[in-house]
């Protein structure tokens, strides 16, 4: 039998590999007893960074902390591929410095006060109404304009189509002339 050096290396590699592999039943028995250290849940979401709307699968532990993000292969926009920005989603969500309450600093004050969300929503509504009433123009010359130029609206990439539609309708109803989106800036 004439065996070349190349054939000898191929056969010895196949033989060594087959000896090192466990049999099918032994491999199945070892993986069946492998316990999970953490229960991990997954949810489909959208990347909050740009206006494309790439699908992200977010893995969370039992306490809701984000452990991992990866591309969603079922999303029509990215089909599972992602740029590097969604890797920062766990840092954004799990940051200890992230505010979870409303902080308010009164004019000419040097201290921040913690306020309730109900107070904040009411205060924002009051200030928007006051500003709109003070700066609303019905006519400019002979032309009816019905607008205010003292308020602007800036949309974000994390908003979906329904959010943007409602924001546009709300802004137009108030007479806001400056309506923009972060992707266009």
- Can you name the residues that pair with 70 across neighbouring β-strands? 57
Place of tokens 């700066």: 135
Residue 152 included in any domain: yes
> Could you tell me which of 130, 103, 124, 128 has the C-alpha nearest to residue 115?
103
Residue 4 included in any domain: no
Residue 157 included in any domain: yes
Q: What is the pLDDT of residue 103?
A: 92
Residues 113-149: tens digit of each pLDDT: 999 999 999 999 999 999 999 999 998 889 989 899 9
- Residue 97 clears pLDDT 80, i.e. is over it: no
Among 94, 112, 139, give the residue marking a domain's end. Answer: 94
> Domain containing 58 — which CATH number?
3.30.200.210
> Could you tell me which of 180, 178, 176 has the C-alpha nearest to residue 132?
176
Residue 7 included in any domain: no
The structural domain count of the chain equals 2
Residues 31-78: tens digit of each pLDDT: 556 566 667 778 888 887 776 778 888 888 877 778 788 888 888 888
Domain that holds residue 88: 41-94
Residue 36 included in any domain: no
Residue 14 included in any domain: no
pLDDT band at 150 (very low <50, low <70, confident <90, very high): very high
180 neighbors 155 (Cβ within 8 angstroms) = yes
């Amino acid at each position: 039998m004439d065996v070349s050096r190349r054939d000898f290396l191929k056969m010895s590699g196949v033989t060594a590999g087959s000896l090192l592999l466990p049999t099918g039943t032994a491999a199945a028995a070892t993986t069946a007893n492998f316990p999970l250290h953490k229960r991990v849940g997954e949810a489909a979401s959208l990347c909050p960074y740009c206006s494309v709307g790439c699908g992200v699968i977010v893995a969370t532990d039992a306490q809701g902390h984000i452990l991992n993000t990866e591309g969603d292969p079922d999303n029509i926009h990215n089909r599972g591929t992602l740029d590097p920005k969604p890797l920062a989603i766990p840092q954004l969500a799990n940051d200890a410095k992230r505010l979870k309450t409303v902080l308010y600093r009164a004019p000419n004050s040097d201290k921040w006060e913690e306020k309730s969300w109900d107070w904040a929503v009411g205060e924002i509504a009051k200030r928007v109404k006051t500003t709109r009433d003070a700066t609303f123009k019905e006519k400019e010359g002979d032309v009816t304009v019905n607008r205010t130029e003292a308020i602007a609206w800036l949309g974000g990439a994390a908003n979906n189509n329904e959010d943007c539609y409602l924001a546009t309708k709300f802004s137009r109803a108030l007479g806001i002339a400056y309506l923009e989106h972060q992707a266009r800036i």
